[in-house]
């Protein structure tokens, strides 16, 4: 039987432990999630039949504040996956110095097979089942894979109905008209863009001479591809769940986005006359995209994309993890030995949770910021913490991933110790 995703995720801490003086309390507390919930969600389908879906919510650690984390709809969602994602969120919030702990949720479902009516019933049913487990001061969900502002709006509305009071701060990533924050829809990509822009000059990489491949042309990947393209980077390949396209001379990203939105796929993008520019291009698989000869590889799809099996074939010099957990711990070691720089998810994709925090603050205060204010605050946060982690890599001669975990562990350790440790009680 293969090792669980959570066991692999936990292994990331092994290298970081050696560099941080931690109390036994901290080590013991971080071994286990604080609370896990598995629920059944009965949904009346459009054809009159009843289907029961499995839902999950895990609150991993709330030492630094209420837990925070997305909800994903995917056929492969399991309690193991949700626990791993909640674990990563705990460190992500600590790395960005947000007053949150980590959580995650999900439903085992193929959302593409459901009508919008069925999706709404499923979303509201999920909140009915977990309402006592979440709250603005307890646990604040957000969107993730295959969930969006509309779904978050349904969920916030359902929670408000149950509580008999409007509760916008219970969920982030909502539509703007329901208390959402400007800049939230592009936050993950924007945060990753600030990290790329901050780190590449340290390696003397000039945008115009830097090629990029993006695996996962969804909410984050598509926006990031466009931001990089606008900044002068040459985006030569993109893919979605159906497959991808590659053009050595670079892709016209706005055209690819326009076509994908109209046709729900990128495979045949350069063919529709005025919709896109005709360029020489090849169709390729997700697996082939990962091993392209490019400067920057951006896995922005699901976890476990770069494994021990394909890590020896990775040709990129730099990997920016926009997905959660796209690289296994075994693959990490192979990439490190080969001198490939991996910039970890708990930093690179933290723009989403950072702007979710801004949305929660705006909901709590009733004061709302402009998109420019949101992006400026996000830029400041991302650059500040990127600089701190980079400094740890220089001081300790460790990888960026280990440095990020050292950074997050230090903050978590301080918070746990502040509640009292054996040294305080035993003298």
Query: Which residue numbers are catalytic?
Result: 104
Q: Measuring CA to CA, which residue among 301, 344, 337 is closest to residue 319? A: 344
What tokens were used for 196? 């790329």
- CA 10, 342, 68, 125 dihedral sign is negative
Q: Measuring CA to CA, which residue among 258, 216, 260 is closest to residue 237? A: 216
Spatial distance between the Cα atoms of 204 and 336, rounded to a whole number of angstroms: 20
What tokens were used for 262? 């109209």
Q: Measuring CA to CA, which residue among 306, 396, 400 is closest to residue 344? A: 400
Using a 10 angstrom Cβ sphere, with 0-12 exposed, 13-18 middle and 19 or more buried, the burial of residue 23 is middle
Spatial distance between the Cα atoms of 198 and 210, rounded to a whole number of angstroms: 14
Q: Measuring CA to CA, which residue among 23, 142, 155, 154 is closest to residue 85? A: 142
Q: Which letter does DSSP use for residue 164 in this model?
A: T
Spatial distance between the Cα atoms of 422 and 427, rounded to a whole number of angstroms: 8
- The DSSP element (H or E) to which 333 belongs, if any, is helix 329-337
């Amino acid at each position: 039987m293969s090792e669980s995703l959570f066991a692999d995720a936990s292994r990331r801490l092994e290298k970081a432990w050696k560099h941080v003086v931690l109390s036994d309390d901290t080590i013991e507390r971080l071994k286990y999630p604080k609370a896990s919930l598995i629920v059944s969600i009965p949904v009346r389908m459009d054809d009159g039949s009843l289907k029961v879906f499995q839902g999950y919510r895990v609150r991993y650690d709330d030492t630094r504040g209420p837990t925070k984390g997305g909800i994903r709809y995917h056929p492969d969602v399991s309690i193991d996956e949700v626990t791993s994602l909640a674990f990563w969120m705990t460190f992500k919030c600590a790395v960005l110095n947000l007053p949150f702990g980590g959580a995650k949720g999900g439903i085992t479902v193929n959302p593409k097979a459901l009508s919008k009516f069925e999706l709404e019933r499923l979303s509201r049913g999920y909140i009915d089942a977990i309402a006592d487990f979440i709250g603005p001061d307890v646990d604040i969900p957000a969107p993730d894979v295959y969930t969006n502002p509309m779904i978050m709006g349904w969920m916030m509305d359902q929670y408000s109905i149950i509580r008999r009071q409007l509760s916008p701060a219970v969920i982030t990533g909502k539509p703007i008209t329901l208390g959402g924050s400007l800049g939230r829809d592009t936050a993950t990509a924007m945060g990753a863009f600030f990290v790329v822009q901050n780190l590449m000059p340290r390696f003397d990489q000039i945008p115009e001479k830097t090629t990029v491949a993006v695996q996962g042309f969804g909410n984050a990947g598509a926006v990031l591809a466009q931001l990089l393209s606008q900044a002068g980077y040459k985006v030569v390949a993109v893919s979605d769940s159906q497959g991808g396209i590659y053009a050595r001379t670079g892709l016209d990203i706005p055209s690819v986005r326009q076509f994908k939105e109209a046709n729900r796929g990128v495979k045949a993008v350069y063919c529709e006359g005025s919709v896109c520019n005709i360029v020489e291009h090849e169709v390729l698989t997700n697996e082939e995209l990962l091993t392209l000869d490019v400067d920057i590889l951006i896995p922005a799809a699901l976890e476990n994309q770069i494994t021990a099996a394909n890590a020896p074939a990775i040709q990129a010099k730099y990997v920016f993890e926009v997905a959660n957990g796209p690289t296994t711990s075994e693959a990490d070691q192979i990439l490190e030995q080969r001198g490939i720089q991996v910039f970890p998810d708990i930093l690179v994709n933290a723009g989403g949770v950072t702007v979710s925090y801004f949305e929660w603050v705006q909901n709590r205060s009733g004061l709302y910021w402009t998109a420019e204010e949101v992006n400026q605050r996000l830029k400041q946060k991302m650059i500040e913490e990127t600089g701190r982690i980079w400094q740890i890599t220089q001081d300790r001669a460790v990888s960026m991933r280990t440095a990020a975990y050292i950074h997050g562990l230090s903050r978590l350790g301080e918070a746990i110790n502040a509640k009292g440790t054996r040294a305080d009680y035993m003298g």
